A and B are shown apart, each in its own frame.
Chain A
Amino acid sequence: MKPPPAHTFVNQLIALTLLLLVFSGTLGLGAVWVRQGISGTANRSHSLEVKIADIERQLDEVNAEVAAALNPETLLRQNEVMRLGLVSPREIQVQRVSESPELRLMAKGNRDVFNVASATAGSRNDPFSFRVVNASLR
């Protein structure tokens, strides 16, 4: 069998080299593409982190302002400035309810709903009175 001519080997070498170049180029481009993707994602997540930190900072700011506004001293001052006249109740003003508040409210509601009223009718000589139980519209 005759050995292949020299130029065939050179051609194969060149073809292989080109193939290698294309392959390594593809790998290189792929690596660049992946790295670009990574850096894009990293930068996006970094900017999100910065945004979250900013929002947390603003939240702290607002919380501190709310706390300062809700401070009892500030509220009392506001009460004076706005002339609200709010005062804490005194014991003498407090009506303690010993029974069940639900039952008490229900009884009160029933009294309002089933309003008992009386009326007089008939002639002056023959008056008759009667009691009506009417449902209040309230």
Chain B
Amino acid sequence: MSKGFANNRLTLLAIGVLACFVTVGVRLVFLHVLDREDLLRFVDKARRQIVVEHARRGTILDAHGNLLATSRSEITVAVDPWALDEYLESDTNEARRTRKRTEEVAKRSQLASLLGVTLAEVQKAFTPGMRSIKAESDTRDGKVDGQTKDRWVKLREAVDEPTFDKIAALNIRGLTFERAYRRVYPSGSLAAQVIGYVNKEGVPVTGAEHHFDLYLKGQDGWIESEKDGARRELAQFRSREVPVQDGNDVVLSIDAVVQHIIEDELKTVAAKYSPHFATIIASDPMTGAILGMANYPSYDLNNYSKAPLDAQRNYAVTDMIEPGSTFKIVAIGAALNEGLVTPLSRFDCGITTIDYKGHTLKLPKEDEPFGELSVADIVAHSSNRGAAQLAMLMGEQRFYEYARLYGFGQPTGFGLGGEIRGQLAAPERWDGLTITRMPMGHSVAATPLQIHMAMSAVANGGVLLRPQIIKEIKDANGVVIRTFGPEKRGTVLRSSTAAQLAQLLTGVVREGTAKGFDIPGFEVAGKTGTTQKLVDGKYVTNRHVSSFVGFFPASRPEVVLSVIVDDAHMPNGGVAYGRAVAAPAFHHIAEQLIQYLEIKPVMPATPNVLAMQGGVR
């Protein structure tokens, strides 16, 4: 072999290698430069995907961490009817193809029983079919005939995880699924109007679900990546990723057991009196924290779609009533606070008219005839004329200012469920008789929560607080990120006056309108209320709002409790007095709360006790 031949051979080899490189290079230029846009578009369409990761909505808990609302995943099971045929087409062995088809078809009866549908429905879903699409977008199967393969036939919605696990284990070809979170309420109807619900579209509609949505909803994340032929994500090709942020947990001030106690009592009241509506509120007077808020009628949060709109209203804040005698705490508290009277000051409550600013005014009727009564008796026996005279001592403007200080005529700041402000007209708009009627709770309208918070101000030493329904916010890891403390709205009474009024209110259950509903040792203080309802602008004598609003123990209050029943139907057709309808419910709830909240009785202030306490009261 000559040297020249070897050189030529090597040269040829080098040229060959270079030619290969050049060919590859040219192809690369075509792929990366000339056809780049088209190819990228194709790859984008075929492989690129953006997967949205939905944030998990936070839970709603009660004050002790019991779940009131949570999210549960549910699966929609569907079928790609073409998948089996396409899979079998690739197999050329006829016998094997038949065997595989038989195996797949055999699984369908198990699928039907797991889904709770008939086999015929499943077979129908697996039958390949076409669906119509717009002709201009018909580019899927190469034919432009406005028809495309139907690859999503829904079999069943709301399949739970354990069932789905069994279905997945069947490994059925062509079975697809979509997972979604659905809101569930483990306690059913408990605190329904307070918690609210999220509808099927995932929109929070009412209650805490709606009001605290900003905390609860979280933030969806997304991943930009590529998928393989089986539409599985190719995790190594993730190009961008925004992590999902799950929603925060909202801890309410509600105590599930307290809520259950008051709802149970409400059911009893409803069964006995068939009222138009009724509401019971329990709260901590020192913080304004709502321990329970129940309404009748109510509904099951898991079946909200079947609930009438009336049942979804939180009557405690959406409806107003004339507070009746419970409003007398305004006139009496104000007169004591202004130093115009003492508990022993006496008024003639037997008179029917009174001279006031040069006019003779007719005083309201009493439920029973009274003579001369002390302020303490006016409270205990709920004298309308006594309350009117106390208001007159102050005058319209001062009395109105006190009513405002108690929080009437303005929203409490509760926040949930469309709170209204009630009605409290300024003195300029009063007629001549208003000064005699408003002190007994007529010519004024308030929500049950306003009345409750006014009584709470008496209980806590004269401070009007904002009702607190939220206790704290926790992040997805359970770390507290925000707490909500008491919020003072204003000072109503001096603490000494509030304590004095609290003691006077104990007379109501000891010897007054709710006599017999005291709980020995626990100093129940409260006020009954019975108001005739306004129908077509006139007070009617056969329809009433019955109420009892109070707290206990009077000398160191731990719970404020309001029972308000609208339009109770008495079994014997009698008047639905607050003492007959609301006071027994109050008493029964109070007995249970004393045990549950471990409220200790008030010790009698004997010298021995004083010595035990180091002589300090």
Bound state CA distance, A35 and B188, in angstroms?
A: 52
Nearest chain B CB to A56's CB is how many angstroms away? 8
Q: Do A42 and B256 touch (CB < 8 A)? A: no
Bound state CA distance, A43 and B6, in angstroms?
A: 52
Q: Do B161 and A61 touch (CB < 8 A)? A: yes
Q: Do A71 and B190 touch (CB < 8 A)? A: yes
- Which A1-21 residues have C-beta < 8 A from chain B? 6-7, 10-11, 13-14, 17, 21
Is A83 positioned at the interface, with any CB of B under 8 Å from its CB?
A: no
The residue of chain B having its C-beta at the shortest distance from the C-beta of A57 within the complex is: B73
- Which A54-92 residues have C-beta < 8 A from chain B? 56-58, 60-61, 63-68, 70-73, 88-91
Bound state CA distance, A13 and B7, in angstroms?
A: 12
- Which A36-54 residues have C-beta < 8 A from chain B? 38-39, 42-43, 45-46
Is B234 positioned at the interface, with any CB of A under 8 Å from its CB?
A: yes
Is B145 positioned at the interface, with any CB of A under 8 Å from its CB?
A: no
Q: Do A57 and B594 touch (CB < 8 A)? A: no
Residue among B3, B17, B257, B519 making CB contact with A72, cutoff 8 Å: B257
Q: Do A71 and B73 touch (CB < 8 A)? A: no
Bound state CA distance, A58 and B165, in angstroms?
A: 11
Query: Could you say which residues of chain A place their CB within 8 Å of the CB of B6?
Result: 7
Query: Could you say which residues of chain B place their CB within 8 Å of the CB of A72?
Result: 187, 190, 256-257, 260
Residue among A17, A46, A89 making CB contact with B595, cutoff 8 Å: A89
Q: Known contacts being A7-B3, A35-B236, is A96 close to B186, with CB within 8 Å?
A: no
Residue among A14, A64, A89 making CB contact with B10, cutoff 8 Å: A14
Is B344 positioned at the interface, with any CB of A under 8 Å from its CB?
A: no
Nearest chain B CB to A119's CB is how many angstroms away? 40
Is B238 positioned at the interface, with any CB of A under 8 Å from its CB?
A: yes
Nearest chain B CB to A109's CB is how many angstroms away? 24
Residue among A14, A45, A67 making CB contact with B70, cutoff 8 Å: A67
Nearest chain A CB to B209's CB is how many angstroms away? 16
Bound state CA distance, A91 and B553, in angstroms?
A: 14
- Which B235-266 residues have C-beta < 8 A from chain A? 235-236, 238, 256-257, 260
Is A94 positioned at the interface, with any CB of B under 8 Å from its CB?
A: yes
Bound state CA distance, A89 and B14, in angstroms?
A: 101
Query: Could you say which residues of chain A place their CB within 8 Å of the CB of B112?
Result: none
Is A123 positioned at the interface, with any CB of B under 8 Å from its CB?
A: no
Is B484 positioned at the interface, with any CB of A under 8 Å from its CB?
A: no
Is B13 positioned at the interface, with any CB of A under 8 Å from its CB?
A: yes
Is A120 positioned at the interface, with any CB of B under 8 Å from its CB?
A: no
Is A98 positioned at the interface, with any CB of B under 8 Å from its CB?
A: yes
Q: Known contacts being A14-B10, A88-B596, A91-B591, is A71 close to B236, with CB within 8 Å?
A: no
Bound state CA distance, A65 and B162, in angstroms?
A: 13
- Which B519-570 residues have C-beta < 8 A from chain A? 519, 521
Interface size on B, residues (CB 8 A): 43
Q: Do A42 and B238 touch (CB < 8 A)? A: yes
Is B485 positioned at the interface, with any CB of A under 8 Å from its CB?
A: no
Query: Could you say which residues of chain A place their CB within 8 Å of the CB of B591?
Result: 90-91
Q: Do A10 and B595 touch (CB < 8 A)? A: no
* Chain B 587-606 near chain A by CB (<8 Å), digits 1 or 0: 00001101110001101000
* Chain B 1-40 near chain A by CB (<8 Å), digits 1 or 0: 0010011001101100110000000000000000000000
Q: Do B7 and A67 touch (CB < 8 A)? A: no
Q: Do A43 and B236 touch (CB < 8 A)? A: yes
Nearest chain B CB to A21's CB is how many angstroms away? 8
Q: Do B592 and A88 touch (CB < 8 A)? A: yes
Q: Do A73 and B190 touch (CB < 8 A)? A: yes
Nearest chain B CB to A46's CB is how many angstroms away? 4
Bound state CA distance, A66 and B603, in angstroms?
A: 41
Q: Do B595 and A91 touch (CB < 8 A)? A: yes
Nearest chain B CB to A35's CB is how many angstroms away? 7
The residue of chain B having its C-beta at the shortest distance from the C-beta of A38 within the complex is: B236
Residue among A7, A35, A91 making CB contact with B7, cutoff 8 Å: A7
Q: Do B519 and A60 touch (CB < 8 A)? A: no
Bound state CA distance, A47 and B260, in angstroms?
A: 43
Is B71 positioned at the interface, with any CB of A under 8 Å from its CB?
A: yes
Q: Do A10 and B14 touch (CB < 8 A)? A: yes
Q: Do B257 and A46 touch (CB < 8 A)? A: no
- Which B347-378 residues have C-beta < 8 A from chain A? none
Q: Known contacts being A13-B14, A61-B72, A67-B67, is A73 close to B236, with CB within 8 Å?
A: no
Q: Do A91 and B594 touch (CB < 8 A)? A: yes
Q: Do B186 and A10 touch (CB < 8 A)? A: no
Q: Known contacts being A13-B14, A71-B188, A73-B260, is A64 close to B595, with CB within 8 Å?
A: no
Query: Could you say which residues of chain B place their CB within 8 Å of the CB of A88?
Result: 592, 595-596
Q: Do A73 and B67 touch (CB < 8 A)? A: no
Bound state CA distance, A41 and B28, in angstroms?
A: 30
Bound state CA distance, A36 and B256, in angstroms?
A: 55
Q: Do B70 and A43 touch (CB < 8 A)? A: no
The residue of chain A having its C-beta at the shortest distance from the C-beta of B65 within the complex is: A67
Q: Do A14 and B187 touch (CB < 8 A)? A: no
Q: Known contacts being A17-B17, A94-B595, is A10 close to B188, with CB within 8 Å?
A: no
Q: Do A10 and B235 touch (CB < 8 A)? A: no
Q: Known contacts being A39-B234, A42-B238, A96-B601, is A10 close to B187, with CB within 8 Å?
A: no
Q: Do A73 and B188 touch (CB < 8 A)? A: yes
- Which B50-72 residues have C-beta < 8 A from chain A? 56, 66-68, 70-72
Query: Could you say which residues of chain B place their CB within 8 Å of the CB of A68?
Result: 186-187
The residue of chain B having its C-beta at the shortest distance from the C-beta of A40 within the complex is: B236
Nearest chain A CB to B260's CB is how many angstroms away? 4
The residue of chain A having its C-beta at the shortest distance from the C-beta of B18 within the complex is: A17
Q: Known contacts being A60-B70, A94-B595, is A67 close to B187, with CB within 8 Å?
A: yes
Q: Do B71 and A60 touch (CB < 8 A)? A: yes
Bound state CA distance, A21 and B234, in angstroms?
A: 31
- Which B175-191 residues have C-beta < 8 A from chain A? 184, 186-188, 190
Q: Do A58 and B67 touch (CB < 8 A)? A: no
Q: Known contacts being A71-B186, A91-B591, is A39 close to B236, with CB within 8 Å?
A: yes
| B67, B160, B260 — most chain A CB neighbours (10 Å) | B67
Bound state CA distance, A90 and B595, in angstroms?
A: 7
Q: Do A58 and B161 touch (CB < 8 A)? A: yes
The residue of chain A having its C-beta at the shortest distance from the C-beta of B234 within the complex is: A39
> What 3 pairs between A and B have smallest CB-CB spacing?
A39-B236, A67-B67, A67-B186
27 residue pairs of the A-B complex, CB under 8 angstroms, read: A10-B7, A10-B10, A10-B11, A13-B14, A14-B10, A35-B236, A39-B235, A60-B70, A60-B71, A61-B72, A61-B73, A61-B160, A63-B67, A64-B70, A64-B184, A66-B67, A67-B67, A67-B68, A71-B186, A71-B187, A72-B256, A72-B260, A73-B187, A88-B592, A89-B595, A91-B594, A96-B601
**Other A-B pairs beyond A42-B236, A91-B591, 17, CB < 8 Å:** A7-B7, A17-B14, A17-B18, A21-B17, A38-B236, A56-B56, A57-B161, A61-B72, A61-B161, A61-B162, A63-B67, A63-B70, A65-B186, A67-B70, A71-B186, A90-B591, A96-B601
